[in-house]
Chain A
């Protein structure tokens, strides 16, 4: 078996174990957490017999250790279960909000990279300058301010005072311009913190790389500063940033709840949040499984990208010294 094949198999097994572990944790917690789903979902109107039937339809009359294998068995056939309240398949519910989550997550991370990486590079190559100090201050401020606070300010400025951008939702289906307009503010709100974070990370990575022997060697060969910085230093300095981006994507997939609530946008984060609040376990299980899977796959892609960027990094993940 080749190194690549062995590596992929091991990652696949790891992925399965992570998914299994996450679901095991979720099912255990759902058994411990107080609150009756029938009460939370149906309210005072529900009769005792209806509530009992409802619980049975959700499968919650069974212990979690019986529900987990049943759930995983259904997952293998592509069935994430059914939302007992609406009668709709969970896969359909998750599928309906997933595109909004993907668009928002990747747009936010994309914007953060486009702005944060150049800012970090600039700060590193102009270390100690006024702009470096200003960027340090702005970056920390960006990281410190919660995204939902930024979201509210953006709405007040751009939607209420200036009346340039809309407040609500994700736009009309099929109307790309409307959807793009409604993406601007949520994307900005989510990416601001990441811009600051990536800029700081990039700066420190660049400074570290710039002190490496091979950079000094490149300079000794008479290569221009621009060539040294952007061809040799930047590529290697990007690796920690890429690792962080992998984690960031995972976090944003399920963690953009507050921004989604402020902009009344559909999304996986909101779906999970509502499912927890109403103890809607079938929806919660399905949505969490999808988030875990995307998270694991994203990080796998990130790992694979390391070796493409830096041949010194072998597939076993251990960086090896140049020349070995």
Chain B
């Protein structure tokens, strides 16, 4: 018995020992393997176009730009708060004067020397004040009010404004328009600088290939915190389904995907799906200058005829939060008390009868994307019930984005629109001022009061007062009944479990240099 027991124990010990001997090193090695990941791949849905901050092609370029260049200040990890980046000090001396002092020893890559205040002046002024070769930046609006940058020393300077600009820090200085380029490099490289950028940020661009994307390598001369990954492959993958398969196979580590693709991935092994409210805004607009929508009662009837929740259920599987006004949380001036319009067929019909419109024929112009098409179909059915017959005009991007512009815009009836947002209320409001009629104000919303409030919000530096102004402006929009707010979209950030991404609210603006291993 004793021998049997000893033998039995011995066997168990042997098995346990074997398992421990096998699993131990493996388990021990697992964290080491996770740490050993030196390269990650992320997906962008548009091809890299221009990596020069002043002429960037959109958010996809900006995400690379922000980790290649430094700014005076930048957003903290996944936060709207800012911290010093290239600046040792940044001081708002008055509403129209900002002083900065650069940290010494910040070197541009490719031997273009140390960053000085002269580079800051060049970087900011080229947007509009002193364009190089007469090329005014499409992002000129980010620097509204800038009159010039005065260089007061090698590392010091003053940013002078003609009028206060409350959004300057968030929209320009801390964002892609505030990236500091090397004056020497821009002048020496010319258009080549678009794809061979010279920065001083955490990463440098190794290659940019048409239709493939970019490869970034850690910048050894970067003076700030060392990023986790040695290499980031920024892959241009047009098809979300391909991105899904690449994530599943482990070839891709991070992507922002549409709900229909991301949602089923929740159960996939090794994949994490992070869902958060978006920072875009989607709405159904009504052209106020096109009869019969010139009549407020008709616009109000359209608003009451629609069931936003039902449309969102159809378009986004109910995953997208409802939007009731232009400015959403966490942006300053979010109107939390905004009216939530419920469908009221009786009231809608009454309004139409009062307006003498009982059989309206109209058209809803939309982009050829599934979510909009589905929502428009629901809207079509809902409008039919109150006596409005709407046909759908589904257009591809190139045609659609021109539909509300110039003379053509006068013929638009109803349309669905989506704009990307940023963390400043004026950025979101800018498209609805009267000067944008014929450009991006497709509602042809012409409110002198809104225009005045917009200007007032730009120059108001007190956040509480500014928030009150922004809310008033939204009330003006609400009164017009030209906007049926739908959603601020929903962002599905899908990642491999071994990678922790960093991005600002809405997941449009990424902080690639702050991606870490888990």
Contact = CB atoms under 8 A, between A and B. Distances in A.
Answer yes or no: are A and B bound together in one complex.
yes
A274 B236 CA distance: 13
B251 to A, nearest CB: 5
Interface string A82-101: 00011110000100110000
B141 A45 contact: yes
Q: What size tier do the contact residues of chain B reach?
A: 35 or more
A34 interface: yes
A102 to B, nearest CB: 15
B239 A264 contact: yes
A217 interface: no
B245 A160 contact: yes
B136 A167 contact: no
Contacts of A265: 211
B402 A266 contact: no
A163 interface: yes
Contacts of A266: 209-212
B441 to A, nearest CB: 11
B137 A50 contact: yes
A35 B194 contact: no
Nearest to B177: A45
Interface stretch (A36-44, A70-78, A295-303): A36-44
Given A88-B191, A168-B242, A96 B210 contact: yes
Contacts of A34: 398-399, 402
Interface string B213-247: 00000000000000000000001111101100110
B402 A267 contact: no
A44 B419 contact: yes
A46 B54 CA distance: 11
A169 B50 contact: no
B405 A36 contact: yes
A189 B322 CA distance: 42
Interface in A137-176: 152, 155-156, 159-160, 163, 166-170
Nearest to B397: A277
Q: What size tier do the contact residues of chain A reach?
A: 35 or more
A9 to B, nearest CB: 37
Nearest to A169: B212
A262 B190 CA distance: 35
Contact of A160 (B236, B248, B405, B431): B248
Given A86-B49, A167-B245, A35 B238 contact: no
B461 interface: no
A159 B245 contact: yes
B195 A39 contact: no
A50 B127 CA distance: 11
B14 interface: no
A168 B136 contact: no
Interface string A245-288: 00000000000000001111111001100101111000000000
A322 B312 CA distance: 72
B245 A169 contact: no
B249 A40 contact: no
Contact of A262 (B137, B242, B419): B242
A48 interface: yes
B140 interface: yes
Contact of B402 (A35, A86, A271): A35
Given A35-B401, A36-B402, A50 B242 contact: no
Contact of A50 (B49, B138, B245, B252): B138
Contacts, number: 124
B396 interface: yes
Given A35-B398, A86-B49, A270-B211, A48 B439 contact: yes
Given A39-B405, A47-B140, A262-B239, A167 B249 contact: yes
B57 interface: yes
Contacts of B249: 159-160, 163, 166-167
A49 interface: yes
Contacts of A276: 398
B58 interface: yes
Interface string B14-45: 00000000000000000000000000000000
A35 B400 CA distance: 7
B397 A271 contact: no
B245 A96 contact: no
B440 interface: yes
A271 B210 CA distance: 9
A87 B141 contact: no
Interface string B397-440: 11101100100000000000001000000000001000000011
A263 B140 contact: no
Given A159-B249, A166-B251, A262-B239, A50 B398 contact: no
B242 A167 contact: yes
B136 A47 contact: yes
Nearest to A49: B136
Contacts of A43: 58, 401
A133 interface: no
Contacts of B439: 48
Contacts of A11: none
Nearest to B134: A53
Given A48-B439, A88-B191, A39 B210 contact: no
B186 to A, nearest CB: 12
B139 interface: yes
A47 B141 contact: yes
B253 interface: no
Contacts of A48: 439
Nearest to A35: B398
Contacts of B195: 86, 88
Contact of B237 (A166, A168, A279): A168
Given A34-B399, A44-B431, 10 more contacts: A33-B399, A36-B401, A45-B141, A85-B50, A152-B241, A168-B251, A274-B47, A274-B211, A277-B396, A277-B398
8 contacts: A39-B402, A40-B398, A45-B139, A53-B135, A86-B49, A261-B238, A264-B246, A276-B398
| 4 A-B pairs with the lowest CB-CB distances in the bound complex, closest first | A87-B191, A35-B398, A266-B211, A46-B138
